[in-house]
Amino acid sequence: MTVLSCPFCSAELTRTGNSLICTGERKHCFDIAKSGYVTLTRASGTSGDDRDMVRARTAFLDKGYYRPFADAVAESLGGAKTVIDAGCGEGYYSNIIASGGHDVYGFDLSKYACDKAAKRVKADGNNAFFGVSSIYELPVSDNSADAIVSLFAPIAEREFARVLKDGGLLIVGAAGREHLYELKKAIYAEAYENEGRRDLPSGFEEIARKNVTYKFDCAGEDLKSLFMMTPYAFKTSREDAAKLDTLSHLEITADFDIFVYRKY
Ligand SMILES: C[S@@+](CC[C@H](N)C(=O)[O-])C[C@H]1O[C@@H](n2cnc3c(N)ncnc32)[C@H](O)[C@@H]1O
Ligand SMILES: [Zn+2]
């Protein structure tokens, strides 16, 4: 059984030349883009992160500031073979997971993100599949994945339960209470800690929980890229955002929570 399935008729997808073609009666056909990603959605047009947000995320993540978190996520996967990165963004984490020998399938609504992700893994000599798709309607067969990672992305618990094998893992990475506190303090008159609470996805049991906390020093363009990839970029006035320009550097707390759930 192949992991990928047709978004129209759920039949298996197989590669023929530069396309993925379904084995159903209608033989739905999906072109593989030059960089290697495939648009696998019934929706016309896509959304998700735009080009600038993807660029900012890449510029920041490529500097390695979040590498300890990436390594902790990868370690949580154990021997999982088929891993879905749901809301994979520009593939920084997918690439690190793929380098560990897992078969990675990354999905994101943003075609810019999937394009960058496909280029990234190729450049690093790794192998992973990237598809433009909503994580609420994954083009993936039932019970075909050993693990799903969901990092700073929405959690589609019913869809995740459908595509995971019984006993499969769901690994959720999210901001811990103090994540980027100093960045918020530099911008807002009143800065609050994040809410640490997270509801148990239905159909899953929690089997482990980890926290990764450390400080990193950030300056110049990296600081701006970091700000651009946070949800604060949308909700901050131009005046408040300009406060970052006056800082030579900032020591910032990275605080990540990692939840490991198992499908039962
Ligand atoms: C905050 S970013 C995190 C990206 C990546 N996991 C990371 O940590 O670098 C959230 C991502 O989820 C994607 N996204 C949001 N809603 C989505 C949905 N319904 N289906 C697929 N992707 C979605 C966005 O396009 C964006 O790339
Ligand atoms: Zn089909």
Cα(134) to ligand 1 centroid in Å equals 9
Cα(200) to ligand 1 centroid in Å equals 20
pLDDT per position as a tens digit, 148-182: 999 999 999 999 999 999 999 999 999 999 999 99
Average pLDDT over residues 94-100: 98
For ligand 1, whether the C-beta of 135 sits within 6 Å is yes
Sheet containing strand 204-219, strands side by side = 38-39, 128-132, 103-108, 82-86, 145-151, 164-175, 249-263, 204-219
- Three-class SS state of 235: helix
pLDDT per position as a tens digit, 213-240: 999 999 989 999 999 988 888 888 888 8
Q: What is the DSSP letter of 101?
A: T
Q: Report residue 251 as tokens.
A: 């020591």
* Ligand 1 atom nearest to 49, measured from its CA: 25
Q: Report residue 223 as tokens.
A: 């600081």
Comparing 234 with 6, the larger pLDDT belongs to: 6
Is the pLDDT assigned to residue 245 strictly greater than 90?
Answer: no
CA distances from 21 to 82, 109, 157 (A): 21, 21, 28
Predicted TM-score (pTM) of the model is 0.96
**Over pLDDT 70: what percentage of the chain?**
98
Is the pLDDT assigned to residue 196 strictly greater than 80?
Answer: no
pLDDT of 45: 62
Is the pLDDT assigned to residue 19 strictly greater than 80?
Answer: yes
Mean pLDDT of the chain: 94
Residue 146 has phi, psi (to 5 degrees) of -85, -30
pLDDT of 1: 66
What is the end-to-end Cα distance of the chain in Å, rounded? 22
For ligand 1, whether the C-beta of 175 sits within 6 Å is no
Cα(131) to ligand 2 centroid in Å equals 16
Q: Which residues contact 156 (CB under 8 A, 6 or more apart)?
A: 86, 135, 136, 138
pLDDT per position as a tens digit, 60-88: 999 999 999 999 999 999 999 999 999 99
Q: Are 183 and 226 in contact (CB under 8 A)?
A: yes
pLDDT of 240: 84
Ligand nearest to the CA of 28: 2
pLDDT of 241: 84
Average pLDDT over residues 189-194: 84
